[in-house]
Amino acid sequence: MQEYMMNRMQQISDERNRKINKIEKIKALKRPLSVYKKLELISSGGLDNLSYEDGKFFLKCFGAFLKKDGRFMLRVRIPAGQLSVEQAASIGELSRVYGEDSINITTRQQIELNYIRIEDLYSVIKALEDAGVSTFQTGIDNFRNIVTSSFDGLGNQSIITVKPLIDEMQSIFLEKEEWIGTLPHKFNTAVFGTAINDCSIYGHDCSFIVAKKGDETGFNLYLGGKVGVQAEGTGLFVRKDEVVTVFNAVIHLFKTYGFRDKRTKNRLHFLLEAVGMEAFADAIRSYSGLDFNSGGDILVTEEFMLDEGGQYDLGKGLMAVHLGIPAGKFTGENLLEAAKITKQVNGEIRLSVEQSLYIVTTREKVKEVKESVLFDLYSRYHHIYFNHQIACAGALTCAYGVIPGKSDAIEMSNYLQREVPIFGGKVRMYWSACPHGCGIHRVADIGFEGCRAKDEEGNRVNGVHIYLGGKAAKEAKEARLLYKAIPIKDAKCKVKKLMEIYRDEREEGESFESFDSRVLAKLSLGEIVEKIEVC
């Protein structure tokens, strides 16, 4: 049966790959490492420029993205979002020297350095390598940073510490020539071992989610998540010592049988759609040589919520102090300061998928962190509109962006804090500047997708589609489209009215996600629109 299934998968793959897309044709021109070597020549003045295909594909394999101003954004891989003090200091200094002191924190717990000149790329990449971090395979058809909870291995909520597993998984592909730029499309992975879901665990191509089967604690395997689609369960329970083997099986199957024809239909989701989840689970059994129990009970039971002081009590004497970084826009100088403070309190830096960071330390040391100039600088953002905000790169630096995005998100949050201040509770506002959805707006409490809209005079202006009621905590659920293509100035008014309803009708301390399930989800979209229509 398994042999038949593998043959069937090969047949489906062959049929779909009779014609390949333009990116696959570019891949056939050369090996990515040959382009990486060009960077060293450019840095020493031995080469003047790169070809079109180098910028279009090959440099992205090493995290280098050419932007509109002719300089580069350089994406830095931070496995599990765990950044040592020394690494933070090195990245901060490189940003100051080479990148105009500009840093972004991303939704995959990574750091992006901005404004890097092409002649400096090689020097910066090598300096990062010396600090123990890599930029390799952070873009295009590669394995993106493997994410997990910001609190992996810390406090009462940690069930299985997964960072060692992530390091093993990464060792399979990182900086290995056979894996650089050779996948059919990008591949996102999450390994999750805590009781609180703070990294949208269902939104990845491959997710290992902590679960219990009988007396054994391990993981349920979910596959096929992408923008607008949540991953589905395979029905397989994976023991801790099987995770790396199973991951190896999944990625080899995707690389071998994945589709390389229509670019928008090449994620793992479409292979699963074509062959069926049950057949793919059988393929995992065949490739790995493992026999699995059926899925266990998922142990994600808690909703993560910061207190009003911008901190989270992890238990076991540990506290996570939050720096609410607006839209992930940070600086090298402030990262250096974060490293200094963290070292001072003998703490840890943890990056968040919500584009912020935590300094984790003991209860006794929290006061030192909160008395710092850095904490004071960001304390004004410790309210519900900034605590859980996401905004993608946007039109200023991304060729796909329709609206600026980051500045829109910051302006919206500042406006809401002035107009509808709310103390306690939680609301997740996520912004994507285009339909690509890098701001994961479809799982937000209130999501915004950039578009063009018409104002009252019929002029074309920056606008958004507004989504409502996404779920990413204990369950996965796509948000509903509430408004289509309205000007951003009108969106501010609509969201203000929505937040007034939340403020007035919520239970004490209730999150918007819980409030939506209890109140708004029982109403039709028309009824909700009627409540907030008059501005």
DSSP string, 258-303: ---SSGGG-SHHHHHHHH-HHHHHHHHHHHH----EEP-EE---B-
In angstroms, the CA 215 to CA 442 distance is 36
Nearest of 443, 452, 458 to residue 488 by alpha carbon = 452
Model confidence at 498: pLDDT above 80: yes
The identity of residue 401, as a single letter, is: G
In this predicted structure, what is the pLDDT of residue 535? Answer: 62
Per-residue pLDDT reduced to its tens digit, 427-448: 999 999 999 888 999 999 999 9
In angstroms, the CA 208 to CA 196 distance is 14
The identity of residue 92, as a single letter, is: G
In this predicted structure, what is the pLDDT of residue 5? Answer: 73
Instruction: State the SS3 of 57-95.
Output: CHHHHHCEEECCCCCEEEEEECHHHEECHHHHHHHHHHH
Confidence tier at 365 by pLDDT (50, 70, 90):
very high
Confidence tier at 145 by pLDDT (50, 70, 90):
very high
Q: What is the mean pLDDT of residues 468-478?
A: 78
Enter the pTM of the model. Answer: 0.94
In angstroms, the CA 455 to CA 503 distance is 29
Model confidence at 46: pLDDT above 70: no
Nearest of 8, 58, 14 to residue 259 by alpha carbon = 14
Model confidence at 270: pLDDT above 80: yes
pLDDT above 90 as % of the chain? 79
Model confidence at 40: pLDDT above 80: yes
Give CA angle at 112 (377, 66), nearest 5°.
135
Model confidence at 402: pLDDT above 70: yes
Model confidence at 355: pLDDT above 70: yes
In this predicted structure, what is the pLDDT of residue 47? Answer: 62
In this predicted structure, what is the pLDDT of residue 48? Answer: 65
CB 296 within 8 A of CB 218: yes
H helix or E strand, kind and range, residue 130: helix 121-130
Per-residue pLDDT reduced to its tens digit, 518-534: 999 999 999 898 888 76
Model confidence at 260: pLDDT above 80: yes
Tokens standing for residue 466: 């507004």
Contacts of 393 (CB under 8 A, 6+ apart): 73, 104, 401, 405, 406, 433, 438
The 10 Å Cβ neighbour count of residue 197 is: 25
Model confidence at 201: pLDDT above 90: no
Confidence tier at 473 by pLDDT (50, 70, 90):
low
Confidence tier at 230 by pLDDT (50, 70, 90):
confident
Tokens standing for residue 520: 């708004």
Q: What is the mean pLDDT of residues 289-313?
A: 88
Q: Which residue has the higher pLDDT, 304 or 292?
A: 292
Model confidence at 475: pLDDT above 70: no
Per-residue pLDDT reduced to its tens digit, 371-383: 999 999 998 888 8
The distance from CA 171 to its chain's CA centroid, rounded to whole angstroms, is 21
Model confidence at 356: pLDDT above 90: yes
CB 361 within 8 A of CB 369: yes
In this predicted structure, what is the pLDDT of residue 1? Answer: 59
DSSP 263: G
Mean pLDDT computed over every residue of the chain: 93
Model confidence at 493: pLDDT above 70: yes
The distance from CA 221 to its chain's CA centroid, rounded to whole angstroms, is 19
In this predicted structure, what is the pLDDT of residue 43? Answer: 83
Residue 344, sorted as left (phi over 0), alpha (psi -120 to 50) or beta, turns out to be alpha
In angstroms, the CA 410 to CA 224 distance is 32
Q: What is the mean pLDDT of residues 451-458?
A: 92
Model confidence at 476: pLDDT above 90: no
Q: Which residue has the tokens 């995992």?
A: 284
In this predicted structure, what is the pLDDT of residue 471? Answer: 83
Confidence tier at 368 by pLDDT (50, 70, 90):
very high
3-state secondary structure of 46: coil
Tokens standing for residue 476: 């996965």
- The DSSP annotation for 410-458 comes to HHHHHHHHHHS---S----EEEESSTT-TT-GGGSSEEEEEEEEE-TTS
Confidence tier at 8 by pLDDT (50, 70, 90):
confident
pLDDT above 70 as % of the chain? 98
Per-residue pLDDT reduced to its tens digit, 185-200: 999 999 999 998 888 8
In this predicted structure, what is the pLDDT of residue 533? Answer: 77
